[in-house]
Amino acid sequence: MPPTPQPLDYLPHLPPKRDYGIGVVGAGSIARAGHLPAYRSAGFNVVGIYDADTAKSEALAAEFSTVSFPSLEALLESPDVAVVDIATPTISHPPLVEAAVAAGKHVLCQKPLTYDIAKAESMVRDAADAGVRLAVNQNGRWDQAFRSVYALKQRGDLGDLTYVQIDRVGPLRWELWPWLWDRPRVLIVEDAIHFLDVVRFILGEPEWLFAAGFHAGDERIKGETSAVITLAWPDGAHGLLLNHAGIWDDDTHATYRFEGTAGVAKGELGVFYNFPYGREDTLAYRSERYDAAWIAPELQGKWIPDALVGPMAELFTAIHEDREPMNSGADNLRTLYLVEAAYDSISEGRAIRPRTPQGQ
């Protein structure tokens, strides 16, 4: 008889100390739909919220039974705030991170950390010099489906991974992000970055990347709205990331497949169906360990808001254990290098070997 598969370890691990004070910067849709519900469900301590739009900040603070800070300075000066949670548009990240670091606060910053690689590197150095932890909210690593695949890989159920495909097709709600409309780079740096980070997390660092991207559909958007990214790893594994923000909703779908020498895992990414609220992910896997029979556990929670517990929980644990978080700014540089390699590949029409951090 084959062994019985044990439950998958895919839910965020809550930290031993949960009462670090969180000051949220930004009162937009991701804070309302993701950050604050996630922190409330985990029992985290949200001290207050700041947004340049005072009315938005006050309304969100009232909704989540916390306070609205009158200014960024008031938030940073509060002795009750240990972690600054930055949930604002990307262009605003560098000055906010710099101000928080200068105030001696730990930081969790929404992805992408910044558009400028050199600035990202200096932000990482500055945080290290200041002795504070800088983490990036790459919450896809804690999405229920991707975390399940990671757990399957870690316990050997899939063997050596040989192929990955993530396929997301369907309209995006561009009205939620008007600050992106005129940017020359859009889909890869803001959306496909999730998938680039996830495959790094599960398979390790790719050796080569080839990308194609183009604009199709919504005329409000000036940058790319469609991208196809091919990846190759040193051990021969390869992958295909398809991210198409089309205008037709007849076949909205978001699927994933991870194949290995001993098994395969596949399913749907529920968040992309009626974003940002979506639905639960699905997972089906089979492994030689279990006589190759299909197993389809029911996954608890949704990417938004539940996966957003993970990045903050990991930062809390890293602070408590005095170590770098696994979603650190330093680690995230490698994801930004993949993003940059994708744009270089599109502009140069060739495969690119992604950069590595200096000294490696």
In the chain, domain spans = 21-139+310-328, 141-303+336-348
Cβ neighbourhood burial of 132 (10 Å; 0-12, 13-18, 19+): buried
pLDDT of residue 356: 87
Q: Is 118 strand, coil or helix?
A: helix
CATH architecture of 141-303+336-348: 2-Layer Sandwich (3.30)
Say yes or no to pLDDT of 166 above 70: yes
- CATH number of 21-139+310-328, picked from 3.10.25.10, 3.90.1580.10, 3.40.50.720, 3.40.30.10: 3.40.50.720
Closest CA to 285 of 62, 25, 6: 6
Q: Which strand (E) or helix (H) includes residue 315?
A: helix 309-321
Q: Across all residues in the chain, what is the average pLDDT?
A: 95
Characterize 28-63 residue by residue with b for buried, 16 or more Cβ atoms within 10 angstroms of its Cβ, and e for exposed.
Answer: bebbbbbbbbbbeebebebbbbbbeeeebbbebbee
Q: How is the beta sheet containing 208-214 ordered, strand by strand?
A: 208-214, 226-232, 238-244, 161-169, 253-260, 263-268, 284-287
For the stretch 95-120, pLDDT in tens is: 999 999 999 999 999 999 999 999 99
For the stretch 141-163, pLDDT in tens is: 999 999 999 999 999 999 999 99
